[in-house]
Amino acid sequence: MDELALKGVVPGLMAAHPEFGWEFVDTTRAFAIVIRPLADRRRYATVEVWESAEIFSYAFAGHESVDFAYETSEKEEVLQEQIEQATRALRGPTRVMLDWAGDKVARSMITHDFGGEDSHDFTMDRAVERLLWWLKGKRLRREIVRFPALPTP
């Protein structure tokens, strides 16, 4: 499944989330969509598919999560999972912890719990950024951002 075919399944995947608006946006990747809850248009997440159609990512409030799919049969499923993660983060309640090395995020963790489900934590670690900052004798700066749950429709 190439990026054009994946782009074609996005409307169907987003139809499962009527409480969100979305649009394709310009990117240096194959394609990207920005997802916004209709209840709070200030919140947004970006889901990207890279040129190879093997790398999928979503970003929310400084946190980024990346997944891979090499088999054609897995690509739509992984895209759907990235969209699900993005919408779960947008719904809240969500907490994002960012460890900054200067102006770069060296490590991030996102925790979200929607509808009373068990809490889910996902961590992205850029070990090289952390090591370089540490070798310079500097400490990471931690920032915690909280997003309350959106009102249920």
Task: Return the C-alpha torsion angle 111, 116, 118, 119, nearest 10.
Answer: 10
Judge whether residue 114 has pLDDT over 60: no
pLDDT digit string, tens, across residues 19-34: 999 999 998 888 999 9
Report the distance separating Cα 100 and Cα 90, nearest Å. Answer: 22
Q: How far apart are CA 10 and CA 14, in angstroms?
A: 6
Reported pTM = 0.90
Which residues are paired to 46 by β-bridges?
Answer: 34, 59
